[in-house]
Amino acid sequence: MRLFTRSRAAPPRLPYGLTPRVLGRGLAKLVAAIAVAALVGLGIGAAGAQLSDDSDSPPDGSPGSAAPSGQGKRDIAQRATPANVRVRILAATLLPATSASGQRRQRARLSVRVRVTNRSRRAVRIARPVLVSGGARVKTDANAVSPTTSVETLDAETSKQVTLRFEIAGAVTRRVREGRVRLLMAGVRTTSRLTSQGDSGN
């Protein structure tokens, strides 16, 4: 009786020059390259997340950021307008000059006592008042600046009385004496007659 034995299949032949040792080195390099690529990908993802967080967060001083200590509580003054400020003339006094040169030039000092009321909920800035007489506009005396003779800012929902001082001469004095005192303050035009005229002045 003849016995037949099953022969084993021959191992696959590797391409020329590709030995198991060379193949193992190639696989090791491939695994290392994949690991490096994975680490780089993780680094890029982390950097992108950081940039996204930075872009979502508002810059310093923007409405969404936390304001420095005390800054949010500060009330920034707005410009005064007829919509938020009321001006009333309480008295107007004219004091003519007594010197000969002053009388020839009809120089006089006009004092106008006013009450200014801020009706808004924010402080307001008030520009320098102006006396309007014909085509002339005379600003308040620059040398008479004090808490009782001028007002630059007014707190919210408050009133203040001040006495405005004007140095006038010539036709302006004549018109004030014969007509009315026309005042432009905080965008509000207010008119009043003289309440008194003095016999002496500077």
Render pLDDT for 26-74 as a digit per residue (tens, 0 to 9).
667 776 777 766 666 656 655 555 545 554 444 444 444 444 443 443 4
Which pTM value belongs to this model? 0.60
Asked if 133 and 172 count as a contact pair (C-beta separation under 8 A), the reply is: yes
The CA distance from 19 to 14, in Å, is 7
Q: Is the pLDDT of residue 164 over 60?
A: yes
* 199 — pLDDT class (breaks 50, 70, 90): low
Non-local (6+) Cβ contacts of 152 within 8 A are 125, 126
Lowest mean pLDDT: which of 46-60, 69-83, 134-148, 169-183?
46-60
Tokens linked to 181: 């005192």
